[in-house]
Chain A
Amino acid sequence: MRRQLAARLLKSLIVVLIVTTISFFLIRSAPGDPFSYEGPNFTPAIRAQWREQFGYNRPLPEQFARYVASVARGEFGYSHARRRPVRDALADALPRTVLLVGVSLALSFVLGIVLGVVQSTRPGSRIDRAISNVLLLFYSLPDFWFAMIMLVGFTLWLPLFPPGGIVDPVMHDYMGPWQAFADRLAHLVLPAATLTLLTSAAVARYQRSAMLDVLPMEFVQAARAKGLSERRVVWRHALRTALTPVIALLGLLLPALVGGSVFVETVFSWPGMGLLTADAIFNRDYDLVTASVVVGAVMVALGNLLADMLHGLVDPRLRD
């Protein structure tokens, strides 16, 4: 197990390096640069001066070497569009996305696993088919569109939640600690619910078929024959085995969630990594794009690592 984790760590490191290199060269090979936007006072001479100042006129390999060296020193460069160091921009945005994606991921696995197991215990029944149909509908919804429906539905037609952002822009600073917490929670509900409902559909579909593979196995029959209650047989014995493929799904869903958060963050004005990255790309904000793509790759790598560790927890054979 430990050796496996070490190998996985090494592999993740290589992947992150590859992704860094690709994003660095990809954005620089595109037409334009951070200073190519139009403005009344931007003469070609000023642009040239800025390019000189930030080294964007040097050969690409030299720029890359400088970039890697500065990242090694803990410097991620400067965001021209936001006029602040990339590190500061990331320090603001990353916790917000980790919160949103983390909460949604946890909730959607709980919801998806419960639904999948409930379905698998009554395959072909009316409730199984009803849940399957609803899940397929959610599975087919475009992220951004469902986010818009939730936004219009719960802030306009049934105004239960605030219409976006992470806190109340005016009142938050004047709130007491409990009120401030409630304010944060109220702003989290809609984006998190949107991502949860979309993701749990994938988890439940997967969990159901994993359970249907496991339930006919002999060890399940043996557990029944021992006289264990059906609930214990399903939730303790069968589910434990059927969790393995679902945990593997974690590693595959994370890139999708990181990508999907772009849409959900856009609709709910949630100033996290998705919005930051999209903005950075549109502004050709070189260092910010590279850094945020790398952060995305690291999040995915950590998710895979987490999946490996959970595998070890569920399947004792993988432990040393």
Chain B
Amino acid sequence: MLSGEQTLAGRFGTHHTVRVAGALIVLLCVVAVLAPVIAPYSPAAQLDIVALKNTPPSRAHPFGTDWFSRDVLSRVIFGARVSLSVAGLSALLSTTVGTAYGLAAGYAGGRVEQMMMHLLDALLSIPRVLLLVAVLALWQPVPLPGLVLVLGLTGWYGVSRIVRAEVRNASSREYVLAARALGASNVRVVLRHLLPNVAGPIIVATTLGVANVIVLEAGLSFLGVGAREPNASWGTIFFTGGSSPTDTWWVALFPGVAIVVTVLAFNVLGDALRDILDPRQLHSIGSRSSD
């Protein structure tokens, strides 16, 4: 096992990574908010469809230009707005729905809980990507709020599993029994006593959920069913870049790097928060990009 010294060093390292990852995320948010100030061009402007079509990175266009002579750097900067807000909002929605469902199931117990968990198993076995592609392609064009909605409503299963497990764990503890003995109502017990005690894992799951949704939304936009012009996300840049990555590597590389750096920051932050908030290491399973 770890010696005390190693654990301390580990803790320190953890806090250090939290700071770095957190700072990176704040920076990305600032870039997203200040996009019109920072970006050299408009993300939709077709600068010169003849002379500036598919030009490789240069001093004037550090990330190059795409098929429609749009500046890729400006598109990446503005893409941060769409990618981050879609991912953040739908992760919040997933967390809210998942927490409510998990709290209800865990607190209800018995047959109700069993039924709810069976339903959850059924939902978990539907490949999320296929479901999303189907809904988004069949009802296209889906506006951004719709995208947030379907991403959020298909992403809460993992959270509700974690919350339900934690609630079951907590609901037999003395403090809950005491609250009940004092005559607290069910709603009060759940909201005032159970919820604060399962907050740690929920925060961790939400952080990892944001990373998850950024990748997922990028993939959907890459297929052409996610965020649409003029609200291009990082994934949309590939789809409407208009040529193959073998010809114009810069159109594929730079938005990809933006995605990887952001997702990495959220994953590192989530892992570190888990070490701090959730020492029992309750892992959210199967949270790879497309579950």
Binding site for B on A (CB under 8 A): 11, 14-15, 18-19, 22-23, 26-27, 30-32, 123-124, 136-137, 139-145, 148-149, 151-152, 155-156, 163, 198-199, 201-202, 206, 209, 213, 215-216, 248-249, 252-253, 255-256, 258-260, 262-263, 266, 277-278, 281-282, 284, 289, 293, 296-297, 300-301, 304
Contact = CB atoms under 8 A, between A and B. Distances in A.
A300 B137 contact: no
Contact of B128 (A31, A149, A255): A255
B138 interface: yes
B125 interface: yes
16 contacts: A27-B134, A124-B2, A136-B264, A142-B215, A144-B219, A152-B246, A202-B287, A248-B285, A255-B127, A259-B128, A262-B129, A262-B133, A263-B219, A266-B223, A277-B133, A300-B127
B33 to A, nearest CB: 23
A57 B252 CA distance: 44
B260 interface: yes
Q: Choose among B126, B133, B218 the residue with the greatest number of A CB atoms under 10 Å from its CB.
A: B126
Given A124-B2, A293-B130, 16 more contacts: A26-B134, A124-B6, A124-B9, A140-B267, A142-B222, A145-B259, A145-B260, A148-B256, A252-B286, A253-B291, A255-B291, A256-B289, A259-B130, A260-B129, A263-B129, A281-B137
Contacts of B283: 206, 209
Interface of B: 1-2, 6, 9-10, 118, 121-122, 124-130, 133-135, 137-139, 211, 215, 218-219, 222-223, 235, 238, 245-246, 249, 252, 256, 259-260, 263-264, 267-268, 271, 281, 283, 285-291
Contacts of A11: 118, 121
Q: Choose among B2, B218, B219 the residue with the greatest number of A CB atoms under 10 Å from its CB.
A: B219
B288 A253 contact: yes
A262 B219 CA distance: 10
Contacts of B263: 140-142
A296 B2 contact: no
Contacts of A19: 122, 125-126
Nearest to B139: A30
Contact of A255 (B2, B10, B125, B256): B125
Contact of A141 (B134, B137, B260): B260
A235 B78 CA distance: 50
Contacts of A213: 281
Q: Which 10 pairs of residues, A with B, have the shortest CB-CB distance?
A: A259-B129, A252-B286, A30-B138, A259-B127, A259-B290, A140-B263, A145-B256, A256-B291, A255-B127, A140-B264
B6 A301 contact: no
Contacts of B246: 151-152, 155-156, 163
A11 to B, nearest CB: 7
Contacts of A124: 2, 6, 9-10
Nearest to A28: B138
Nearest to A26: B134
B289 A277 contact: no
